Chains A and B, each alone.
Chain A
Amino acid sequence: MSGLDLPAKPDRFRPGAAIGQALSRYGIVIAFFALCAALSLLNPYFLTPLNIINVLRQASINGILAIGQTFVILTGGIDLSVGSLLAVCGILGASLVTGANPGNPLVAVALGVGAGLGLGMVNGALVARLRVPPFVATLGMLSVARGLTFIANDGMPVPRLSPGFLTLGQGFIAGVPIPVVLFGATALLAWAVLRFTTYGRYVYATGGNERSARTSGVGTRKIIFSVYAISGALAGLSGMVLAARTTSALPQAGLSYELDAIAAVVIGGTSLAGGVGSVVGTLFGALIIAVINNGLDLMGVSSYYQQVIKGAIIVLAVLLDTSRRGRD
């Protein structure tokens, strides 16, 4: 612990206390670039354009889920159902773009996102209106939605998706893969909403102290309801992207994806207690997870070690962050 604290200490005595502040604020960003620098020294292919595209694409599905999760965790809640919602939305949406007469891909995406929104609103109603603890409500939804996924298509995948739809997972816009564009756009929008709108301030206020937020006139129940709806809709979106990336909507897709999404949020410095955190942090959290997986694959590290290393880095990142926050 004390060893980890050392690098930050000299900052406190420097005249520019702002640098210290910046370091604690952007610790996750610095950690990300340090990790990238280390990997680029260890492996000559890490910094090639192709690999950078791969990392971004591999980060995008978890990243979109994690952005939704950020809203939920900022209010002090948690959404365990996102992996299952991703699967059920993938199956529902993809069923419109399969077979001899595939429908419009945009309608399919709208259906997938809409289904996620609807199921997310169920989560929201359970938590905000009926006061079911978020962990319980979304754990229930995790199971219900996974069951619905198997019911929807008798447990079979939805294959042979139309080429127009597959573009969503495999196409490029100006050289950037479309999943990455969607990830980036979602992140930008979420960042702007949380930072510049009244709604965003209410999300932070609700998570910081729900009672005092309510006393000062914030409709906290509405806010809580809305964050689960957002998380559901984004799970729907990532379900459509995943189906398009793997060319089939698979009923077993997204198993335990909620854990990687929560890990990205937590690595990104958002407090599980609510009220503290940012989308920028989550963005880098998702990137760090993707870079770890990618880097260890590139170096041919056995999957046994890979799991150990990944887990250790998650805990280490949070440890660094909490120890820094504790001192502030």
Chain B
Amino acid sequence: MIQRRTLLTATAATLAMPAIARAQAGKSFKIGAAVYGLKAEFMQLWVGAIKAHPAVRSGQAAITVFDGQYDALTQSNQFDSMITQRFDAIIFVPIDAQAGADAVRKAKAANILVVGSNTRVVGNELTSFIGSDDVKAGMMEADAVVKAMGGKGNVVVIEGPIGQSAEIDRGRGNREVLAANPGVKVLEHKTANWSRAEAQSLMENWLTAHPGQIGGVIGQNDEMALGALQAIKAAGMDPKKIPLAGIDGVSDAILAVKAGEMVSILQDANGQAQGALDIALRRLAGEGYKPMSEVWNEYASQMPWGGGTATEYSVPWTPVTAGNADALLAKRQKG
């Protein structure tokens, strides 16, 4: 009997705890994270990061993740059900900028605020957007390759799926740098649809078509750069002699950077996901809300919080180097 009573008191106490915390913050906010798809590592990291946000851990925010399955219609339907279920806010990573804008309008009409993260929608209906500038990343990777080539020679460009916003923007960044370096000629450019296997075959074929002529490889993401790396190795060439760059900082790419085989530029999923949640919570909880994620300290100078009401936050890109590779991987293991 005594035992049971202590158990009951203990249970009551633990139950009361989050209730108090909730009372202090007002309530537990119901937040939907509508992401374009969960089939690649980057979005997995993004989802892992948002679930690890201090506010989610403490129960101040309840996150429901919706997998958009790379389909604009699926995402639109998910918005309908979030509106029906009266979510407090939606964090939105759209598959398509045009179709996404329509979904945002629907939510706004239902008085649900929408914070964009990672990929953009057209128009200005978003409460705020946090992401990284793909044009900049395209410039950074092209710059790294061009520099390593000494400003002359031939490059090949492995592109993302034609027409996708990341492909368009990264491509624009690539071209801007290449235009400024007339000594570097683009030998070939073609899509490998973000796929490692596809890029590997493509690079094998290019190496055959242009023996000894390819001096550098610009991959618009890491997966494709890794495919090209395998092709270079399989052809018996030394990858250290052919500058190769990718974007995103996926785990395999970080390992390849560590081995000195490529350059990668890390897109910070953690910053984009946790930052978005802080921005949404600030709007919901009011002026007194203090951002909880570490990212605001990490990027204090490049991405200031500024009260949390800016309409746009740009998460900086971090070049992966042999020096920070281990730290980046360790951080990932923890998440």
Question: Does A159 count as interface, using CB distance less than 8 angstroms?
Answer: yes
Q: A43-B209, A54-B205, A251-B39 known; A245 and B251 CB under 8 Å?
A: no
Stretch at the interface among B20-28, B174-182, B193-201: B193-201
B228 to chain A, nearest CB (A): 11
Residues 153-166 of B, flagged 1 when their CB comes within 8 A of A and 0 if not, give 00000000010000
Which A168-212 residues have C-beta < 8 A from chain B?
170
User: Measured between C-beta atoms, what is the minimum distance from B50 to chain A in Å?
Assistant: 14
Whether A253 lies near B209 (C-beta < 8 A) is no
Decide yes or no: A253 and B252 within 8 Å by CB, A50-B208, A51-B208, A297-B202 being known contacts: no
The reply to whether A155 and B44 form a contact with Cβ atoms under 8 Å apart is yes
The answer to whether A45 and B251 touch across the interface, beta carbons within 8 angstroms, is: no
* Residues of A contacting B190 in the complex (Cβ-Cβ under 8 angstroms): 297, 302-303
Assuming the contacts A50-B235, A300-B209, asked whether A156 and B204 have C-beta atoms less than 8 A apart, the reply is no
Given contacts A246-B230, A297-B190, contact A155 B38 (CB under 8 A): yes
CB <8 Å contact, B188 and A300: yes
**Does B74 have its Cβ within 8 Å of any Cβ on chain A?**
no
Give the residue among B40, B41, B205, B211 with the most A Cβ atoms within 10 A: B205
- What's the minimum C-beta distance from B248 to chain A, rounded to whole angstroms? 13
Residue of B whose beta carbon sits closest to that of A304: B162
**Cα distance A157–B44 in the bound complex, in angstroms:** 10
Residues in B whose Cβ lies below 8 Å from that of A303: 162, 190-191
Interface residues of A in 196-252 (CB under 8 A from B): 242, 245-248, 250-252
Partner among B197, B209, B227, B250 whose Cβ is within 8 Å of the Cβ of A297? B209
A152 to chain B minimum Cβ distance, whole angstroms, is 13
Asked if B62 is an interface residue, CB under 8 A from chain A, the answer is no
Residue on B with the closest CB to A153?
B44
- A48, A157, A298, A300: which contacts B251 (Cβ < 8 A)? A157
Q: Could you tell me if B197 and A247 are in contact, using CB atoms closer than 8 angstroms?
A: no
Chain B residues with CB below 8 A from A252, complex form: 39-40, 195
Question: How near does chain A come to B311, taking the closest CB pair, in angstroms?
Answer: 31
Contact residue among A54, A160, A251 (Cβ-Cβ distance under 8 Å from B204): A54
CB pair B252–A159 under 8 Å, yes or no, is yes
Question: A271 near B: Cβ within 8 Å?
Answer: no
B225 touches A (CB below 8 Å):
no
Q: Choose among B40, B201, B230, B251 the residue that contacts A159 (Cβ–Cβ < 8 A).
A: B251
Q: Give chain A's interface residues, CB within 8 Å of chain B.
A: 43, 45, 48, 50-51, 54, 57-58, 150, 154-157, 159-160, 170, 242, 245-248, 250-253, 255, 293-294, 297-300, 302-304
